[in-house]
Structure 1
């Protein structure tokens, strides 16, 4: 590069830039043909001459993606030189520069995750969400880099952003959180190898994280953690062994159903709503009209205590089998209906939960009333109490996020 042009870039002298262009109109054409070169834009990025850099990007947009002999583009140099304003100027021209790979496949998002530049990292994720999928030459995402570099703040920002941005796509969350690098290590493996209890705790809370994933050495994250002897790892081991989701199995299943339904066409969802509404109505009606009907007055003699008037004529065994199969169908229909409404009518979910809770109570009372014997009636009441407790637990857990 001509020394006069280099000085113009270092000092930010735009007049000198155009004076040089008047002197040699093809100077940038020759530079552009070179595969790896320091352009005036690279120099302006390092020195922080924003005005000069913007003028260069206007004249030669191709320079923004040119790598120098060290494998850095202008936006990489601006970030590594501590010039955040320059980085934002680059992104105002082309947001996809966030995904531009330089030395070892690093993007600016990877560097921000490594160097704990949380503000810039948040900006990168907002302007270009797909940058979270970008891999280095070691097949590491920015999340891997943060875990490997022990940068908890950057790690937390990305994890919360992933949960928020992809809350409607469980498959995407699974893909990102369980992605393996070239050594087969997931983010959890790296957090475990560095004995980072705070990172491990956040990951364990994510239902999508696979704790049984093995790396190329055949080790799980727990294996990696237990092999760590240089530091006290008891806290991390305890966290990794814990199961914060043990009381939310149904909610997890319901969430999986909801994710599947979100990928369906609206016409399909409407058809399913009709079908399962009919199943729900049929199972509820069936308990009010059991097979064989009801015993009539005098069917059990004159002793009022043993009177079976209004009771099902079915034997106790048959009634219990009927009650269980019918109740399971009712409950499954309920679960699927709730998941469907969670897709098409989330704003009225609170009212629907109360409505179905009342239906369940009515279902239990009706079943208990027509039970052929007191023992069967007690069984029904016990089953209803368990279901009610389950309903209350599920609803309280589920509505924490609404």
Structure 2
């Protein structure tokens, strides 16, 4: 309707609100097709969004297809969760809260206690096989309870839900870190890392289906990125922030500053962890990425104006 009535300001508002510019009407025409029929150059330039329309269409189809398969997989697990009554939802949240707290308690008070001998001090006294049998099942219970909780939060207001998702992300990071700390060997720690990687991928999939905020996914990803003394780690971190929060500049900037602050505070406790290059590279990569985005947008706008 906005394209048909030549209202470019309304088009801009709709696009800023993430309206689907590839949607079609009953005549199977997109907003761009309608604008081209009226030869409204300003609307055409705004709706193209990319100097090469085929590239824009390919990106749209790729995202749509990926989201389609992820939503199908999500529907298998959460098909009836939107139809739960308010009382049942509250009861389930209480039960899931108990499961989360009890599984986390198992990492604070492991069976058999912790070793107090020299190099193995603070590690579980359980043998590798017994440790993995116990904590893999604990991790599975925690994972299922965690994602069911996220699914039940879908009906909450956006701001309140995002705050809870961020808190749950920190809770999951603490849970994973607790198991890694008490792992009796390197092998058990690696196996737990594999589970944490699967856990993180599930969070990414849920963000694709808009079940969870990208901010909580980015926070959780920080704990799974390798932190070391070499510059490539900083590049990986900056790339990760760019991919997850590429369209949320201020949230990404705030998260990077907090992440770097925590890194500096950790260096105060253990000076051997101090590496200024690490924090500088992450921040520089983030701002360079957005500078490139601004330049590309300006270039596309100029090209579209020239073509029209």
Judge same fold: TM > 0.5, yes or no: no
The TM-score normalised by the length of structure 2 is 0.44
Give the helix-richer structure, 1 or 2.
Answer: 2
The TM-score normalised by the length of structure 1 is 0.35
Higher RCO structure, 1 or 2 (CA under 8 Å, sep 6+):
2
